Structure 1
């Protein structure tokens, strides 16, 4: 599989969930470019592989339909023979989420809801797909170099939001940070969708039990703070988290690695609000 094939397949899986929905939503992309480095490598060595992650808000329908859209996504995927990661969503909750995977190509996807208006109980639905890791080709490397994270002057508000989210995630994990390493710190990603502030850092190495407990604490924080949470494969025995904050369109990725460290990355758009009226 290469980048183009991974993107095409991810888009196909999303449309399999969305195209038969009623009422029919529009797709609005969430977050930065869909192609990035793999979140973890089994052997702990340098990772030059890539991974596609696509996520879309389902817009243009009443927020009260969010749960119905998630259920319809689940039903469409089940009809195609796709499997639950663990079990079906808890439909008694106001904002359930579904985590599934395709067979045999092992793309992971979720359909989730987030809070739009706590007073009325309205939600916002989204669907996301993450591909397996695939080798980086020469053309992929050239594209990555042209759209890599660069340190530049950034919007101070977006930077502060990203740093604030990182700080709260650190508090929730409740483990020591590792010394700064390559790729850590604040940077800016620019692509055709706009500019995004990115903050990355790692914890010190943890035992598997410590990592499981830390991930449980940060998931609890996300859910209480109104983030929508999805799960993606990390290749370490501990599932990674991808969370989205509807209010400021931030995305957070919390990924245990084979070295025992938990890798944290927060991405915030410099100019959010393209969907502020949803």
Structure 2
């Protein structure tokens, strides 16, 4: 039970892992001096993202099976915080399943090598390959898709991991291309349970950070989403602007908070900008993402999967199945 939950956490971490650059206050696709404005639609962005995934995976040995993870792949452009949502971007996330957990590091290295051969560049320095669970962050040239290949920890003592890949497109205008935000779904008992849990995790984290929160912005608050048969509660909020020293202290308190609760804390690179803190709860599958922005605001998001119906129907106090 715990092992399967851990894998679910890794999957969720992967869904947000490649957003490190986008959410850290850096801008993309025509919003930064010297960058190119991207002309594409949802279909083109999705097809290109799939191509980049297969460039990494098709030549791998042992051959993994791709398992799609994450929420709706089309969402608001993260570089456009609190905008009216004119621009969108595509994020595709896959677990690399069907191979031994000890092969996860090898798969990440092979993904890195395949992308390097195609002339793609590193977002920061190469991974620390002495680490049994490395992470690679790269971008394509010249179309500026961002990708992450990472190894989530399944069993640290045995050196077993779960490799995963996420591709994030540049932001693009809707322009009648038919893009759609993650769809809201009818509430169920499981949704309500997940929402309460997401709020509880978020509230305890807020207490641990010891900073004031900002007025709720557009796109923030509590929402319920569905991707395939999976349902999620998502709670997001932001702090008031912080100084650089205050931000460092807040992230230190956040890390200590999650470590004290036994959450997973995968490594994320810091050379390309302020560090993004990711944390995963191996018990209930919740994932936290804390992303500093260039203006000193810390954006916090807590995502909790809704339990399946057979769990929500159990009598209070009943033992898990």
Q: TM-score range by the shorter chain?
A: 0.7 to 0.9
- Structure 1 residues 220 and 185: alpha-carbon distance in aligned structure 2, compared to 1, 3 A threshold: same
Structure 1 unaligned blocks of 5 or more: 273-278
Name which of 161, 183, 195 aligns with 1:148. 183
Name which of 104, 107, 122 aligns with 1:69. 107
The reply on whether 1:255 has 2:291 as its aligned counterpart is yes
Q: Provide Cα deviations, 1:75-120, integer angstroms capped at 9, x if missing partner.
A: 1111011111111111111211111111111111111111112332
- Structure 1 residues 165 and 182: alpha-carbon distance in aligned structure 2, compared to 1, 3 A threshold: same
CA contact (8 A) 1:222 1:228 kept: no
Deviation at 1:213, TM superposition (A): 5.7
Structure having the higher strand fraction is: 1
CA contact (8 A) 1:40 1:256 kept: no
Structure 2 unaligned blocks of 5 or more: 1-39, 309-321
Larger Rg: 2
Matches of 2:156 and 2:208 in 1, distance apart?
A: 23
CA contact (8 A) 1:70 1:113 kept: yes
CA contact (8 A) 2:268 2:275 kept: no
- Structure 1 residues 231 and 265: alpha-carbon distance in aligned structure 2, compared to 1, 3 A threshold: farther
The within-5 A match list for 1:91-102 is: 91-102=129-140
Match of 1:186 in 2: 222
* TM-score, normalised via structure 2 length: 0.70
Deviation at 1:149, TM superposition (A): 3.6
* TM-score, normalised via structure 1 length: 0.80
Q: Which stretch of the first structure deviates more once superposed, 208-217 or 4-13?
A: 208-217
The within-5 A match list for 1:46-85 is: 46-85=84-123
Deviation at 1:205, TM superposition (A): 1.8
CA contact (8 A) 1:31 1:249 kept: no
Match of 2:75 in 1: 36
Report which structure shows greater RCO (CA 8 Å, sep ≥6). 2
CA RMSD in angstroms comes to 3.2
Matches of 2:103 and 2:215 in 1, distance apart?
A: 45
The reply on whether 1:19 has 2:58 as its aligned counterpart is yes
- The total of aligned residue pairs comes to 265
